[in-house]
Structure 1
Amino acid sequence: MIVYVTSDEYLGVNRDLWDERVPIHLGSEFYDLAGFRAGADTLRDFEIAEVGDVSGRTLAHLQCHFGLDTLSWARRGAKVAGLDFSAPAIEAARGIADETGLDARFVVSDVYDAPEALGATFDVVYTGIGALCWLPDVGRWAETVAAVLNPGGFLYLSEFHPFADILDEETGTTVAFDYFDRTPQEWNEPGTYTDGDGTTRNNRSIEFLHGVGDVVSAIVAAGLRLEFLHEHDHTLFARYATLEKDGQRYRLPEGRPRVPMMYSLRATRV
């Protein structure tokens, strides 16, 4: 059940939640750390196609968790830096980098402090996959992205579509929530997306809904030029009980009207 709140406690509350879940995620089948250590790539096929060749380019991954996607870009030739507000996550990322011999720099920081924390600018800023819902101010986020991009560099955002958040979780057929309500949402749920039955203590979280229009408008206002916005009819987990697995993706059953469940965009700093 959603409880609507007005709160500026989000940073500490959410950090406590993510800190506790790092060891659970590290041991989960969802992240398959053993497979990654053996050479697997965690990036999605559409991301690889839309970002293009990163060989020799500098890339910053904002809100990187424990860095498997960050290190996957390193495997593809990028010179990477990852940033996350969770110290246990960054400690784990550094350990995985050492174990795999991948060259990467990882920094503990709130994303809004990225320009100072990273101390550099980059050819590519990569972010998303459930990242923006943890941030209260998407305009400030877009300004942060612009501040860490080199002229001619680009932002690549791959994210869950907010339209999917307004549908009921069981069937995905009924509008259950208000797309335009921007009130912070407080949740109190044990476990985590890798282990719904996991025993956890810090179960409170505060999340924020940003419409696609909010995100695009913020990016443009920050001085970036939108190159494309793609909407996708699939997602990366069983968002609704009716979804069927299709390789890396989950889709609605054949013949059912489709809805957008993810989106991706690319925007250049001119």
Structure 2
Amino acid sequence: MDMPTPEQAITSNRHAWDESARLHKDTATWKAMLAAVAYPDFSCLDPTITRLLQEVGIAGKDVVQLCCNNGRECLSLFGLGARSVVGVDQSRAFIQQARELADVSPHCPQFIESDIHHLPEPLMGQFDVALVTIGVLGWMPDVALFMRQVASTLKPGGVLVMYETHPFLELFDPRAANPMLPASSYFQRDPFVLQESIVYEGQDSIEGPTSYWYVHTLGSVISGAIAAQLQIGHMQEYPHSNREELYDQYEHQYAQLPLCFTLTATKLPV
């Protein structure tokens, strides 16, 4: 099978995410979120990322979340004292959902539809903190280019805060007959070609638009940050899963896998 160019993969992934938004709209989770975001202290952030954001300090800061999905995490940042929050995502359908949630919320984030690789000029060098959370890196064909784009949004001295799935988990197929047996290479460069809809709330997989999922080693993530003039200040790995419930089976093993990680990196002055 011929692999797509990065531009083709990005376009296909955008279409897949637009379709995904429809699947996540008519759910009990969406209805509950519409009610929950009406409260000023709403938060969907788990203790790991909440603690890290508190340590970095976002009170009174300007924050951008890159690949913000439906904006629920953007709204959560106000409860930690963020002065302003901008969410960016390439999916028009998810940006629309984010605006619907913001209409209910007492907070006023800004949401921008944009491919992360072609960010609008007004976002450049404007933020104290850039947040990247679970399930973003796998959709990026070029992690070094992604890191440069992230860095471009930060003021000198601004901080990238990342909370991601550990790439080592990509070796395993949770639906396999033996899900504990490695099923692919950690060093796989060609993307996984997915033919099912993107769902992350425990729904059964269904046929959907083609999308492409890339595996980036932890070394390539760190090297990409360094090359983007970001100075690593913190990196920690954890044994808990922060992705779909299907991956919970990898927790609490005698031979425990690293399942997620956090990273912070500061933009160096020019």
TM-score, structure 2 normalization: 0.87
CA distance in 2, matches of 1:252, 1:35: 34
**Which of 81, 89, 103 matches 1:84?**
89
For structure 2, the 5+ residue unaligned runs are: none
CA contact (8 A) 1:229 1:266 kept: yes
SS of the counterpart of 1:242?
A: helix
Report SS of the residue matched to 2:212. Answer: strand
Query: Which amino acid counterpart does residue 7 of structure 1 have in structure 2?
Result: P
Q: Answer whether contact 2:34 2:104 (CA < 8 A) is retained.
A: no
Alignment of 1:160-239 (within 5 A): 160-170=165-175, 172-190=179-197, 192-194=199-201, 196-197=203-204, 202-236=208-242, 237-239=244-246
Separation in 2, partners of 1:172, 1:121 = 44
Deviates more, 1:110-119 or 1:51-60: 110-119
Return closer, same or farther for 1:181/1:17 CA change in 2, 3 Å cut-off: same
Report SS of the residue matched to 2:119.
Answer: helix
Asked whether 1:101 is paired with 2:106, we answer: yes
Partners of 1:225 and 1:119 lie apart in 2 by 19
Give the Cα separation in 2 of the matches to 1:172 and 1:199: 20
> 1:248: which partner in 2?
none
What's the counterpart of residue 67 of structure 2?
63
Matched residue, 2:4: 7
Decide whether the 8 Å contact of 1:142 with 1:219 is kept in 2.
Answer: yes
RMSD: 2.1
Q: Aligned partners of 1:115, 1:212: CA distance in 2, in Å?
A: 28
Structure 1 stretches of 5 or more lacking a match?
Answer: 244-250
Measure how far apart 1:36 and its partner are.
2.8
Inter-CA distance 106–241: structure 2 relative to 1 (3 Å threshold): closer
Which residue matches 1:24? 23
The structure with the largest helix share of the pair is 2
Choose from 259, 262, 266 the match for 1:261. Answer: 259
Secondary structure of 2:76's aligned partner: helix
- The alpha-carbon distance between structure 1 residues 15 and 191, as it changes in their structure 2 partners (threshold 3 A), is closer
Q: Distance in 2 between matches of 1:75 and 1:117?
A: 25
The two structures have a TM-score, normalised by structure 1, of: 0.87
Sequence identity percentage: 30
Question: In structure 2, do the counterparts of structure 1 residues 152 and 119 end up closer, same or farther at CA, with 3 Å as the change threshold?
Answer: closer
Q: Aligned pair 1:74/2:73, yes or no?
A: no
Kept in 1: contact 2:241–2:248 (CA 8 A): no
**Contact residue 63 and residue 127 of structure 1 kept, 8 A:** yes
